[in-house]
Amino acid sequence: MWVNKNKKKILRAVEKFGTPLYIYSEENLLKQIAEYKKAFRGIDVLFCYALKANSNRHLCSLIAGRGFGADVVSGGELRAALSSGFRPEKIIFSGVGKTEEELALALRKNIFFINVESFEELEKLDETASRLGKRADFSIRINPDVDPHTHNYIATGKSGSKFGVDFEEASRMYSWARKRVRLNAVSAHFHLGSQLFSPVPYRKAFKKLLKFVSSLEKSGINLKSLDIGGGWGVKEGLDMGSPAVIAEIIRPYAGKYSFIMEPGRSVTASSGILAARALYRKTSGKRNIVILDAAMNDFIRPSLYGASHPVLNLSGGKGKKVRADIAGPVCESGDFFLKDFKTVLPERGDVLVILSAGAYGYSMSSNYNLRPKPAEVLLKKSGVRLIRKRQSYPEII
Amino acid sequence: MWVNKNKKKILRAVEKFGTPLYIYSEENLLKQIAEYKKAFRGIDVLFCYALKANSNRHLCSLIAGRGFGADVVSGGELRAALSSGFRPEKIIFSGVGKTEEELALALRKNIFFINVESFEELEKLDETASRLGKRADFSIRINPDVDPHTHNYIATGKSGSKFGVDFEEASRMYSWARKRVRLNAVSAHFHLGSQLFSPVPYRKAFKKLLKFVSSLEKSGINLKSLDIGGGWGVKEGLDMGSPAVIAEIIRPYAGKYSFIMEPGRSVTASSGILAARALYRKTSGKRNIVILDAAMNDFIRPSLYGASHPVLNLSGGKGKKVRADIAGPVCESGDFFLKDFKTVLPERGDVLVILSAGAYGYSMSSNYNLRPKPAEVLLKKSGVRLIRKRQSYPEII
């Protein structure tokens, strides 16, 4: 674990930049990227990093520099991807509610393709492409109706979900698009959700997709590439498991198709922590409560999903263990990081770090309670680099 | 309901400023303020508006202009309160995790008092006041162990909560403070939580507080004012019920004490809506799904608390009713505003408004999916005024 190995560096960064502070490890990030490349060796696959997990420009530049493409879900993310060095021909644009302006931007920038999520969106894409005189390369996001057994909020590939269309509708859409001169089908796509730890749902969905694509071929629609989405899980406090189990599902078809994958969380989650200081200790009823200076506005996953992220005290913490709730200062009972956590009671001023905060951490942060978003730093071999300043008050008031 | 009465004005504002868009009614806001004043007539009460509900400077100026004080929970909110015209002597500072910098700022600005939430915070306040050579006027937030029967995330006055201290600890704190030359006890405080619709929990907590304050008097500690918190509920889609039932609880003691109340949501909730346009319609399984251009990043209450806010289609909506899910474009299954909503299926481009979004709407908004925070406008008798611009891309990337 990079955190224990870099304890001194982390404490120095906290001393210099204050808390709360997002801290990332360059080495660990590059390790996750290398894992993906290794697992899929021999397969023609483009990894499109899902910016929604963490769109910090410096991290994105690192990822783009290793040959990854980008998966974006808004005009903002498309702009961020381009400005951090992802090449347009490696960018795909997903999401259920792309506005006309966003579709136009994607067309003007000549990105790889647009993942279309409804018939009405396909019509809008056709209109927009015609208006601009551009060819629209597209894929259709198909909802394969496979249950990934994850949190309901992050399961996206079951029937009834707002994402994608079913196979029948997709078939109608590809057929309709064939008659439209501006529309060019290049891929078919599924994405099952987030935090998947088993290859089984991927295998089920991929089989369904293969069958569908074969039926399209019979009617003369030949897709060159298949987009099997992202969602490979990372347990809080650990690095991701090897994605080789997913590679082996698609390897038999590597001669026939090129592939796209959209990893997000698995690339960045374990490479980031949120550092905070203990402000006050108190008891309430029989509970010990430790108030940190980081809060749900900085990191909302525990409040929003009930996610349980391990917390380490880097300042020492020797002595008898007690049970304590680790809470933030925001005026909301839901502002908790851990409940009933077995720990040596931290001293005031101790530096505690919340693990696996590299994904859906800063990207979901807000200014609730008019708290500025924290700074972000990157640990490099050569030292610590500030990669985003803490927000200032004039920015948020 | 001001929304139906102002349909044309709202549609013009949407045409001019685009969607998503927060729209507030000045008239309705002033009506809620007047309700509070009317209900508490004859009682010496200072209403401290809880900025966390909505800290837009223009709305705050309106509220400050009607004689209200402010309840702030961070350095950011204290700055915002001062810059929107709340007078320092009418500002109170609450919150479980005030940093030393925040305490120092409050002391330097000579605010009314600081609501202290733990013994350790009281020690820190004493240290900070000594360092600055200032007198620290304080109150202690007491957890009266009264169950308000609301959502767990917004219930704050039960034992085991991170907020406040119990009566025994409060007693020790007041006694300790008496010996500290810098500390000056001026009030005692409880706040039960949010979305309370019955006076019963207030009555229970107030009785306990009275008993406690009497026992303090016996040991020579005389508090002049009592802070009975906020939390008066507003049903989604309606104005608040009259707070007169709370006034009647404290009225018998109006000669003996002055009072502080901290209304937040009840002041602004019903005065704000979030306007959005319908982008696409689709079906998934047997569900109709309507995708709006507003999302959980703009308004997180439905995702975070499962709050159900009524939605109106202002663009017409005549015809047969169906059941539909109203969703946002963010790549998350939790990005829904309403599920299984009975409505005429909106046309693409229709303007839908989410009611009761004036509190905990913009203040909890984020840039998730790199979406800019929406603009905010105020409907005045004289017309529509832009009170905050939509964020630009350079600001969020």
ipTM comes to 0.97
Q: What's the token pair of residue B150?
A: 């609301």
Residue A386, pLDDT > 90, answer: yes
Amino acid at A105: L
Q: Give residue A18's pLDDT.
A: 98
Architecture of domain A26-269: Alpha-Beta Barrel (3.20)
Contact B369 A327 (CB under 8 A): no
Q: Give residue B150's pLDDT.
A: 66
For chains A and B, count residue pairs whose Cβ atoms are closer than 8 Å.
242
In sequence order, the 6+-apart residues with CB closer than 8 A to the CB of A344 are A313, A317, A318, A319, A320, A321, A322
User: Distance between CA atoms of A271 and B276, rounded to whole angstroms?
Assistant: 37
Q: Which of B8, B331, B381, B397 is catalytic?
A: B331
Contact A284 B162 (CB under 8 A): yes
B:347-366 residues touching chain A, CB 8 A cutoff: 348, 363-366
Intervals of CATH 2.40.37.10 along chain A: 3-7+270-389
Q: Where does residue B378 fall: left (phi above 0), alpha (psi -120 to 50 degrees), or beta otherwise? A: beta
Chain B residue with the nearest C-alpha to that of A76: B370
Contact B363 A364 (CB under 8 A): no
CA–CA–CA angle B95, B96, B99 (5° rounding): 85
Interface probe for A, chosen from B370, B389, B390 (most Cβ of A below 10 Å), is B370
Q: Which residues of A touch B169 (CB under 8 A)?
A: 283
Q: Give residue A152's pLDDT.
A: 67
Closest CA to B335 of A334, A73, A118: A73
For residue A64, the 8-state DSSP code is H
Q: Which whole number is the average pLDDT over A115-143? A: 98
Could you write out the DSSP letters of every residue in B285-307?
A: TTEEEEEES--TTT--HHHHH--
B60 is catalytic: no
Look up the pTM and report it: 0.97
CA–CA–CA angle A322, A326, A327 (5° rounding): 145
Contact B52 A372 (CB under 8 A): no
User: Across the interface, which of B99, B162, B363 has its CB nearest the CB of A368?
Assistant: B363
Contact B76 A370 (CB under 8 A): yes
Tell me the backbone φ, ψ of residue A344, rounded to 5 degrees.
-70, 130
Closest CA to B269 of B379, B362, B354, B356: B356
Q: Give residue B152's pLDDT.
A: 67
In sequence order, the 6+-apart residues with CB closer than 8 A to the CB of A234 are A195, A240, A265, A266, A269, A270, A356, A359
Is the CB of A52 inside 8 Å of chain B's CB atoms?
yes
Intervals of CATH 3.20.20.10 along chain A: 26-269
Beta-bridge partner residues of B378: B24, B385
Q: Contact, B170 vs B121, CB < 8 A? A: no
Parallel, antiparallel or unpaired: strands A113-116 and A136-141: parallel
Q: Give residue B285's pLDDT.
A: 85
Residue A374 burial (C-beta neighbours within 10 Å; 0-12, 13-18, 19+): buried
Is the CB of A120 inside 8 Å of chain B's CB atoms?
yes
User: Distance between CA atoms of B70 and A229, rounded to whole angstroms?
Assistant: 48
For residue A162, the 8-state DSSP code is S
Residue B310: cis peptide before it, omega within 30 degrees of 0: no
Is the CB of B71 inside 8 Å of chain A's CB atoms?
no
Closest CA to B133 of B185, B184, B182: B182
Q: Contact, A224 vs A258, CB < 8 A? A: yes
User: pLDDT tens for residues A177-189?
Assistant: 999 999 999 999 9
Residue A141, pLDDT > 90, answer: yes
**pLDDT string in tens for chain B (397-residue length):** 899 999 999 999 999 999 999 999 999 999 999 999 999 999 999 999 999 999 999 999 999 999 999 999 999 999 999 999 999 999 999 999 999 999 999 999 999 999 999 999 999 999 999 999 999 999 999 999 998 776 666 666 777 889 999 999 999 999 999 999 999 999 999 999 888 999 999 999 999 999 999 999 999 999 999 999 999 999 999 989 999 999 999 999 999 999 999 999 999 999 999 999 999 999 998 889 999 999 999 999 999 999 999 999 999 878 899 999 999 999 998 999 999 999 999 999 999 999 999 999 999 999 999 999 999 999 999 999 999 999 999 999 9
According to the CATH classification, is domain A3-7+270-389 in 3.40.50.300?
no
Closest CA to A189 of A50, A293, A286: A50
In sequence order, the 6+-apart residues with CB closer than 8 A to the CB of B29 are B59, B62, B63, B267, B268, B271, B358
Q: Contact, B216 vs B170, CB < 8 A? A: no
Q: Give residue B57's pLDDT.
A: 98
B:321-340 residues touching chain A, CB 8 A cutoff: 325, 327-336
User: Across the interface, which of B153, B293, B330 has its CB nearest the CB of A333?
Assistant: B153
From residue B335, alpha-carbon distances to A187, B298, B376 in Å are 26, 10, 21
Helices (H), chain B: 2-5, 7-17, 26-39, 57-65, 75-83, 100-108, 119-132, 167-178, 200-218, 244-250, 265-268, 301-305, 393-396
